[in-house]
Amino acid sequence: MSSALTDSAQQRVFNFSAGPAALPLSVLEEVRDELVCYPGAGASIMEISHRDKRFVDLLHDAQATLRQLLGISDDYEVLFLQGGAALQFSMIPANLLRGTGKTAQYLLTGSWGKKAIKEAKKEGAAESIYDAGETNYDRLPAAGDYQVADDAAYLYYCSNETIQGVQFTDEPACPDSVPLVSDASSDFLCRPLDISKYGLLYACAQKNAGPAGVTVVVVRKDLLQRSPADLPGYLNYNNHAEADSEWNTPPTFAIYVLGKIAKWLRDDIGGLDAMLQQNQEKSQTLYQVIDQSNGFYRGHAQTEARSLMNVTFNLPNDDLQASFIAEAAKHDLTALKGHRSVGGIRASIYNAMPVEGVNTLANFMKDFAKANG
Amino acid sequence: MSSALTDSAQQRVFNFSAGPAALPLSVLEEVRDELVCYPGAGASIMEISHRDKRFVDLLHDAQATLRQLLGISDDYEVLFLQGGAALQFSMIPANLLRGTGKTAQYLLTGSWGKKAIKEAKKEGAAESIYDAGETNYDRLPAAGDYQVADDAAYLYYCSNETIQGVQFTDEPACPDSVPLVSDASSDFLCRPLDISKYGLLYACAQKNAGPAGVTVVVVRKDLLQRSPADLPGYLNYNNHAEADSEWNTPPTFAIYVLGKIAKWLRDDIGGLDAMLQQNQEKSQTLYQVIDQSNGFYRGHAQTEARSLMNVTFNLPNDDLQASFIAEAAKHDLTALKGHRSVGGIRASIYNAMPVEGVNTLANFMKDFAKANG
């Protein structure tokens, strides 16, 4: 392993897991150092009450750092919830669609959007107005490919489809009258966003923002008036908003780690502009190897839809794919197997994947292609 | 601090928090040591996929240890979910009541039971058949105080009410035809149980079983046939059962810690019989100080309803209570303030609270009574 990594990282690999995924080493080291005794508490952060001032301060701090990074105004709530994206698939239509008599419209650009609309249909009228299934979700909608109704309950899309490796570069076109809802689970905090374009944006943490077990929901306050009073209490955004994410015991440890990662992004990386630049460079490094491999590596996503976060590609055959994964592991490059529903190789290169890890993979890919091409 | 605690614990206090609560020091130290590199993974346990064999093995191991500790047969599922007890308040009636045409019956012995029935009423017919509210939840039902209908959807109770400090010593009487449902959040694993008496038993982890963010649900498999197909996916127990708690990304770190605590209980403590004995001794130590204080300390719970986990009591006046808390903190005895809805003092002495912590508190209480009585 490289000398750039610190002592405690001697055994560490470059981990390309799609999620839960690599976290910043400096954050892990801080968490380790505070694990038994959180400073001033005489106890682990896991052991203190969520109502303890130390934890409440830490929760507020995590919210404030996210607001600062993304420029989130007071028109929006920032909530920390449990249940992952899977629970949001239901909570969003339960709060924003149920009982409205309107239709929610969905853009389907991959596996996660498909899961989301399935749950929405249980709560009310939901329809897909774009579905790239015919080309196995390798692309994004072009201008004119879909039409959003002016009175839609909301327009839903997944900004980055981890399985297919397809990412929107900008928000999809949407009338001002329709709240835009984004599943940003796998590209949250990878770049600056104009939050004012969104009605609701959410992300489970375990890609760019923290460990599994906490989900960030950023929601425009006026939309919360839509929530039916008879929703299961946990599913009603208003309960969480009114209680500042302490309607019940929140996942305290996960929020604590998320707060540290947000600070790492702000202070060590230098904010989301700097993060975007690094993400562009990292992804470009890998896509270049693919494009210059004379067809040995074949990218799944169309060029203009390529994800900054998940680089998906195939090799000429299954044997070579298996051999690629096995050889890569010998170079401490792990978790490269594509999702079972797509196959091939997937290199997830979220914010915390060091440039060095991407360069090491790129060099390995070149060598492997030369030896086997 | 005592010499019995290890080096890394030099700054640690005796933490009587009601939850999130004290965890075994040896578990915290293990977690710390593995935090940056989980053995063999080259990555933190927080960074590896929930589908990685290492994590799947760890999840299965945690399930197996719980089955072993509690003697849980194959007739039951052991699920690891998110959303805490608050989500179970809704999931239980959503799965076991909704659409049955039956009535769910609730025994209300404290604050948590009251919260639970409120959510149940949104899902179907639910009624309380015992409510100790008139005496501010200081007691348990006596024989004949309630009657369960033979065709009730289920009988629900909370085995330990943390806020009032009231705990059932045995399961409440319940006809064989009616599934018994228990919120065991705050006394799970404090003693052996005969799981075959239960239809469903659940516990959020942050008292005896782990950090906040994971909830254990033990449910008899045949009951899962009741779940309506149109439930929000996350709320349907069948989804989690069929996917072995990986229907979506589970809270991996919390499950990892829970598994370690279960092993600590089995291997270091010696199982639930030994744990019960220790818990009886610890609680007896404090109740004895209360009973021998000539009325200086007044226990909230009736003697026969006293909790092994949460010792609740009042002092002669608010000034003395404030002074008690402040003085205790100087002796590194923390988080003793009672819940805002009851007031007074609450010493939560879950499994991981060392005997030494209880003895230190007992001595402090005697000294304080002598000085102020």
* ipTM value: 0.97
The answer as to whether A133 is a domain residue is yes
Confirm or reject contact between B5 and chain A (CB < 8 A).
no
Cα distance between residue B361 and residue B335, in whole Å: 12
Q: Is residue B104 part of a domain?
A: yes
Least CA distance to B19: which residue of chain A? A49
Interface test with A, best of B29, B33, B37, B47 (most A CBs within 10 A): B47
Q: Smallest CA–CA separation between B253 and chain A, in Å? A: 7
CB < 8 Å from B in window 106-145 of A = 118-119, 122-123
Which pLDDT score is estimated for B373? 86
Helix %, strand %, coil % for chain B, to 5?
Answer: 40, 15, 45
How many whole angstroms separate alpha carbon B364 and alpha carbon B370? 10
Of the candidates A20, A32, A249, the beta carbon closest to that of B50 is on A20
Inter-chain CB pairs, A–B, below 8 Å? 228
- Strand segments, DSSP code E, in chain B are 14-15, 76-81, 103-108, 125-131, 154-158, 160-161, 166-167, 180-183, 200-204, 215-220, 298-299, 310-314, 333-334, 345-348
Q: Measured over all CA atoms, what is the biggest interatomic distance in chain B, rounded to whole angstroms?
A: 63
CB of B92 within 8 A of CB of B180? no
Cα separation, B289 vs B370, in Å, equals: 12
Of A225, A242, A267, the residue that ends a domain is: A267
Contacts of A168 (CB under 8 A, 6+ apart): A109, A140, A157, A159, A160
Q: Which long-range contacts (CB under 8 A, 24 or more apart) does A263-267 make?
A: A263/A65, A264/A24, A264/A26, A264/A27, A265/A69, A265/A189, A265/A351, A266/A65, A266/A68, A266/A69
Contact partners, residue A12, CB within 8 Å, separation at least 6: A1, A5, A25, B36, B37, B42, B43
Q: CA–CA separation, A85 vs B23, rounded Å? A: 29
Spell out the residues 6+ positions from residue B151 whose beta carbon is closer than 8 angstroms to its own: B102, B177, B178
- CB of B323 within 8 Å of a chain A CB? The answer is no
Tell me, yes or no, whether A229 lies in a domain. yes
Residue B215 β-bridge partners:
B81, B204
What is the DSSP pairing of strand B180-183 with strand A160-161?
unpaired
* Residue A156 falls inside a structural domain: yes
Number of CB atoms found within 10 A of residue B201's CB: 24
Asked if residues B279 and B191 have their Cβ atoms less than 8 Å apart, the reply is yes
- Residues B339, B206 within the same domain: no
| Binding site per annotation, positions of B for L-glutamate | 51
Q: What is the CATH number of the domain that holds A324?
A: 3.90.1150.10
Q: Out of A18, A47, A212, whose CB is closest to B20?
A: A47
Q: Which chain A residues are within 8 Å of B35, Cβ to Cβ?
A: 28, 31-32, 35
Q: How far apart are CA B236 and CA B230, in angstroms?
A: 9
Tokens 């598994």: give the residue.
B259
Question: Quick one: A185 and A283 in the same domain?
Answer: no
User: How many CB atoms within 10 Å of residue B87?
Assistant: 26
Contact B253 A211 (CB under 8 A): yes
Reading the block at residue B346, the tokens are 């609450």
- Please give the average pLDDT of every successive group of 10 residues along chain B, which has 373 residues: 44 95 98 96 97 97 98 98 98 98 98 98 98 96 95 98 96 97 98 98 97 98 97 98 98 98 98 98 98 97 97 96 97 94 91 98 98 93
Domain that holds residue B184: 29-267
Residue B108 lies in a domain: yes
Residue B120's identity, in one-letter code, is A
* φ, ψ dihedrals at A202, nearest 5°: -135, 160
Distance of alpha carbon B108 from alpha carbon B283, whole angstroms: 23
CA-nearest residue to A232 within chain B is B90
Contact A17 B47 (CB under 8 A): yes
Do B191 and B161 share a structural domain?
yes
Q: Is B246 on the interface with A (CB under 8 A)?
A: no
Domain co-membership, A352 together with A257: no
Task: Check CB contact of A246 with chain B, cutoff 8 Å.
Answer: no
A89: contact with B, CB 8 A cutoff: yes
Give me the pLDDT at residue B216, please.
Answer: 98
Select which of B183, B187, B282, B337 is catalytic: B183
Report chain A's terminal Cα–Cα distance, integer Å: 27
CB within 8 Å: A82 and B82: yes
Are the Cβ atoms of B82 and A213 closer than 8 angstroms? yes
User: pLDDT at position A121, please?
Assistant: 98
A367 to A183, A220, A332: CA distances (angstroms): 37, 49, 15
Q: Is A112 annotated as a binding residue?
A: yes
Task: Tell whether the torsion through CA atoms of B304, B308, B310 and B314 is positive or negative.
Answer: positive
**A249/B251 Cβ within 8 A:** no
Subunit contact A257:B12, Cβ cutoff 8 A = no
State residue B10's pLDDT score.
59
Q: Are residues A285 and A326 in the same domain?
A: yes
- Please identify which of the residues B7, B57, B74, B112 carries the catalytic annotation: B112
C-alpha–C-alpha distance, residues B109 and B164, integer Å: 9
Nearest to A282 by CA among A330, A332, A352: A352
B12 lies within 8 A of chain A by CB: yes
Same domain, B213 and B285: no
A360 labeled binding residue:
no
Q: Does residue B2 lie in a domain region?
A: no
Residue B199 and residue B287 in one domain: no
Tell me if B14 is assigned to some domain: no
Instruction: Clarify whether residues A66 and A150 are in a common domain.
Output: yes
Closest by Cα among A170, A141, A359 to A276? A170
Q: Is A47 on the interface with B (CB under 8 A)?
A: yes
Overall domain count for chain A? 2
pLDDT value at residue A366: 98
Q: Does B94 touch chain A (CB under 8 A)?
A: yes
Q: Do A82 and B213 touch (CB under 8 A)?
A: yes
Residue at which a domain ends, from A216, A245, A267? A267
pLDDT value at position A171? 97
DSSP letters spanning A3-50: TTS-GGGTT--EE--SSS----HHHHHHHHHHSSS-TTTSS-GGGS-T
Q: Which of B207, B260, B282, B337 is catalytic?
A: B207
Question: Distance between CA B197 and CA B330 in Å, rounded?
Answer: 45
Q: Which amino acid is at A326?
A: A
In chain A, residues with a C-beta closer than 8 Å to the C-beta of B48 are 15, 17, 20, 335
pLDDT in tens, chain A (373 residues): 333 344 455 589 999 999 999 999 999 999 999 999 999 999 999 999 999 999 999 999 999 999 999 999 999 999 999 999 999 999 999 999 999 999 999 999 999 999 999 999 999 999 999 999 999 999 999 989 999 999 999 999 999 999 999 999 999 999 999 999 999 999 999 999 999 999 999 999 999 999 999 999 999 999 999 999 999 999 999 999 999 999 999 999 999 999 999 999 999 999 999 999 999 999 999 999 999 999 999 999 999 999 999 999 999 999 999 999 999 999 999 999 998 777 899 999 999 999 999 999 999 999 999 999 8
Residues A276 and A288 occupy one common structural domain: yes
- Say whether both A86 and A203 belong to one domain: yes
- Mark whether A242 and A297 lie in a shared domain: no
- For residue A103, say whether it is annotated as part of any ligand binding site: no
Q: The domain that contains B152 carries what CATH number?
A: 3.40.640.10
Cross-chain Cβ contact B334/A206 below 8 Å: no
- Check CB contact of B90 with chain A, cutoff 8 Å: yes
Query: A52 and chain B: CB distance < 8 Å anywhere?
Result: yes
Given a contact cutoff of 8 angstroms between Cβ atoms, the answer to whether A69 and A266 are in contact is: yes
Positions of A annotated as catalytic residues are: 112, 183, 207
Q: Do A213 and B254 touch (CB under 8 A)?
A: yes
Sign of CA dihedral B278, B280, B282, B284: negative
Distance separating alpha carbons of residues B69 and B195, to the nearest angstrom = 11
Tokens 């046939």, residue? B225
Q: Please state, rounded to an integer, the average pLDDT across all residues of chain B.
A: 96
| B125 bridge partner residues | B103
- Residue among A8, A21, A87 minimizing CB distance to B36: A8
Q: Which of B12, B43, B233 sits opposite A12 (nearest CB)?
A: B43
Q: Of A222, A246, A267, which residue is a domain's last?
A: A267
Residue B259 confidence (pLDDT): 98
Question: B313 in a domain, yes or no?
Answer: yes
B276 and B128 in a single domain? The answer is no
Q: State whether A87 and B232 contact (CB < 8 Å).
A: yes
Chain B residues in contact with A245 (beta carbon < 8 A):
none
Q: Is B211 on the interface with A (CB under 8 A)?
A: yes
Nearest CA in chain A to B232: A90
Q: Do A37 and B8 touch (CB under 8 A)?
A: yes
Confirm whether B207 is a catalytic residue: yes
User: Would you give the distance in Å from CA B217 to the centre of its chain?
Assistant: 12
